[in-house]
């Protein structure tokens, strides 16, 4: 059984899909986040090992890729206005959606930067899919440990905000049935 939108029943047009560029960047970010958390939890569970070190290197590379993708998303959002939420959306819902999305963007920029800096302070040479990046800081294990704690905290905050974002999308799809999820459809 297909879920139909309230908009379809009321004669109001379903929201149109956003541009393919922003939808692609959105789902690419989501996929990379799933991969990143999977890598982090796996190398953490493995502990120090050759396999763990390989997974850390992949985590670092994909983290830098997330930084590039999110930067592209921010540039796109700044240069391409997005249609507002449906007219019956409450003001507090619009503000909450804006706050959650803006905070997610900020954390998705901060997390790889903090991870990069923490790794560099630990003495690691950071590689982007095998290409060594310049070592810009001197080793400082204490500061590195502090930054890795911040990096982990940012990760949990991203998970919490992502859950809130998904809950909002599911609310629009299954409770309000206003077709808003159509804006970010994959196809």
Residues 99, 104: Cα–Cα separation, whole Å: 8
Structure tokens at 121: 């302070």
Q: Is the dihedral of CA 169, 103, 24, 54 positive or negative?
A: negative
Phi, psi of 131 (to 5 degrees): -90, 120
Res 13: pLDDT: 66
- Mark the ranges of the chain whose per-residue pLDDT is less than 50: 1-10
Can you list the domains of the chain with their CATH numbers? 16-184 (1.20.950)
End-to-end Cα spacing for the chain: 20
Beta strands in 20-117 (DSSP E): none
- Read off the pTM: 0.88
* pLDDT given for residue 12 in this prediction: 56
């Amino acid at each position: 059984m297909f879920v139909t939108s309230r908009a379809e029943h009321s004669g109001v047009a379903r929201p149109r899909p956003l541009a393919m560029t922003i939808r692609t960047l959105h789902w690419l970010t989501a996929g990379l986040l799933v991969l990143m958390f999977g890598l982090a939890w796996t190398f953490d569970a493995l502990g120090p090992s050759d396999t763990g070190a390989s997974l850390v290197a992949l985590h670092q590379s994909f983290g830098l890729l997330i930084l590039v993708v999110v930067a592209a998303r921010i540039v796109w959002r700044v240069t391409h206005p997005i249609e507002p939420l449906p007219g019956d959306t409450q003001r507090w819902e619009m503000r909450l959606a804006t706050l959650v999305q803006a905070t997610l963007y900020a954390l998705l920029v901060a997390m790889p930067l903090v991870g990069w800096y923490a790794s560099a302070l630990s003495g690691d040479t950071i590689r982007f899919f095998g290409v060594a990046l310049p070592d810009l800081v001197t080793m400082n294990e204490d500061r590195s440990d502090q930054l890795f704690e911040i990096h982990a905290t940012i990760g949990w905050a991203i998970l919490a905000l992502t859950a809130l974002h998904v809950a909002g999308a599911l609310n629009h799809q299954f409770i309000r049935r206003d077709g808003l999820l159509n804006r970010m459809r994959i196809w």
